[in-house]
Amino acid sequence: MSPELINLLVQATLDTLTMVALSAIIGTLLGLPLGVFLATSQRGELLAAPALNAALGVIVNATRSTPFIILVVAIIPFTRLVAGTSIGTYAASVPLTVAAAPYIARLVESAIREVDQGLVEAARAFGASPSQIIRKVLIPEALPAIVMGLTLAVVSLIGYSAMAGAVGGGGLGDLGIRYGYQRFRPEMMLAVVVVLIVLVQVFQTAGERLARGLNRRHRRS
């Protein structure tokens, strides 16, 4: 592989990491509180608001059930409004974030619902407020599972970023399509696939180790 193609591969990898990082960070900032609310706002729960819970649940499910490639096209006007353009790395981060936020919300909701309700009842008996229970009981207890969920979300975003590249998003997906497929360079396509596999393995391993460390620390405390 020529130095020019190697430089293109390095730049595409950096573009992919930029897309994934932006969408993961913003998606977590949106999805984490949304997931906490979904897990604690059904009838009889800490932040009981069943009507709002149901409405948000419908929106989250609708977004999650939309294929990503269709979502990218469907929200092009919104992408242009936010990023000023519908192509490029930063523009691709918009649909990636829209896809990530509800996905993360459901992962966080699932992690929090797995917390032993006896701990919640004990905190209530000691007079803890709903916000204190969420901050000091639910989130700390669910943190290892939340970290694993976020790891899964990042891995999914790496795959989504490759699809975004096929519609002008840049990154490894764009490089694989333009050079590997359209210019008949199988070595470039292979290199793109290998880099994507390495990225997934690195993030998966790091997430698993962090979750195990948090779990051991929680057990010792």
Contact present, 111 and 140 (Cβ < 8 Å) = no
pLDDT tens column, 90-102: 889 999 999 999 9
Amino acid letter for position 19: M
Q: How large a percentage of the chain has pLDDT more than 70?
A: 96
pTM: predicted TM-score of the whole model, two decimal places: 0.91
Contact 158, 196 (CB under 8 A): yes
Rg (CA), the chain: 20
Burial class of residue 82 in the structure, from the number of CB atoms within 10 Å of its CB (0-12 exposed, 13-18 middle, 19+ buried): middle
Q: Considering only CA atoms, which of 42, 44, 31 is closest in space to residue 108? A: 31
Structure confidence at residue 177 (pLDDT): 82
Residue with tokens 């918009």, as numbered in its chain = 94
Burial of 92: CB neighbours in 10 Å, binned 0-12, 13-18, 19+ = buried
Total count of domains within the chain? 1
pLDDT computed for residue 221 by the predictor: 57
Its domain, for residue 126, covers 3-220
Tell me the DSSP string of 21-62.
Answer: HHHHHHHHHHHHHHHHHHHH-STTSTT--HHHHHHHHHHHHH
What interhelical angle do 139-165 and 3-40 show, nearest 10?
Answer: 140
CATH number of the structural domain spanning residue 80? 1.10.3720.10
Mean pLDDT over all residues of the chain?
A: 89
4-8, 89-93, 103-107, 160-164 — most confident range:
103-107
Distance (Å, rounded) from C-alpha 71 to C-alpha 78?
11
> CA-CA distance, 157 to 19, in Å (whole number)?
9
pLDDT digits (tens, 9 = 90+) for 110-158: 999 999 889 888 998 888 898 999 999 999 999 999 999 999 999 999 9
